[in-house]
Amino acid sequence: MAGVTQPVRVLIVDDDALVRAGLTMMLDGAPGIAVVGEASDGDQAQAAADKHAPDVVLMDLRMPRVDGITATRRLRARPRPPEVIVLTTFDSDDNILHALRAGASGFLLKDTPPARIAEAVRQVAAGEPILSPRITRRLMDRAAVQAGAYAQAKTTLAGLTPRERDVVVAIGQGSNNAEIAKALDMTLATVKTHVSRVLMKLGLDNRTQIALLAHDAGLA
């Protein structure tokens, strides 16, 4: 019938039966949304997606057999993949980034207000990725820290000679003194001298700190 919009079909994947029941009750009463199925672990997500053809999957992260990141990656590899919103209590930076790299279109915390979860389902189904404000701030802060470390590292290394810089890059790549000497056509004694000068110029204590600085500067 013209003008009739199909509801967004939602699959809930969570190992907590109470969470699944609560989400089902909440979302089934939201306009334009229909919960079409549930799965209690990531290993059931594929079969449930085959059976119910969801538009959006609400995915928990920590489940006993197959975790949410692995399940998300598998679902997103399908010929007609559903959108995935990770809904979890675990908001570490690694969890956020792994979920987004696995193909999740959204990342929300379980304390997100019900109306906001429903709106996120509709937004993601319409092709608009969604992150909770707290998650967005975390990612912005992380990016700012990384950008600051990069700028500081570049400034710190600016006073090195080209040869000293070559040694820093090699250390950042994990090379030992003998490997550096061979790659840069130096004597072992010359490499040791360069390393000592780099440590002194930069005020560092050891090679590990040189390697970290090389990574921060994007040289290794």
Q: How high is the pLDDT of residue 2?
A: 44
Q: How high is the pLDDT of residue 144?
A: 67
d(CA 107, CA 72): 12
Q: How high is the pLDDT of residue 118?
A: 94
d(CA 136, CA 21): 28
Q: How high is the pLDDT of residue 198?
A: 94
pTM over cut 0.85: no
Give the residue range(s) of CATH 3.40.50.2300 domains in the chain: 8-134
φ/ψ (deg, to 5) at 63: -135, 155
Q: How high is the pLDDT of residue 56?
A: 97
Q: How high is the pLDDT of residue 127?
A: 84
d(CA 207, CA 194): 12
With beta carbons less than 8 A apart as the criterion, state whether 47 and 67 touch.
Answer: no
Q: How high is the pLDDT of residue 197?
A: 95
Q: Per residue in 66-116, pLDDT tens?
A: 999 999 999 998 988 999 999 888 767 677 878 888 888 888 888 888 899
CATH architecture of the domain with residue range 152-216? Orthogonal Bundle (1.10)
Give the residue range(s) of CATH 1.10.10.10 domains in the chain: 152-216
Q: How high is the pLDDT of residue 145?
A: 66
CATH code linked to domain 8-134:
3.40.50.2300
- Name residues of the chain where pLDDT drops below 50: 1-4
With beta carbons less than 8 A apart as the criterion, state whether 103 and 76 touch.
Answer: yes
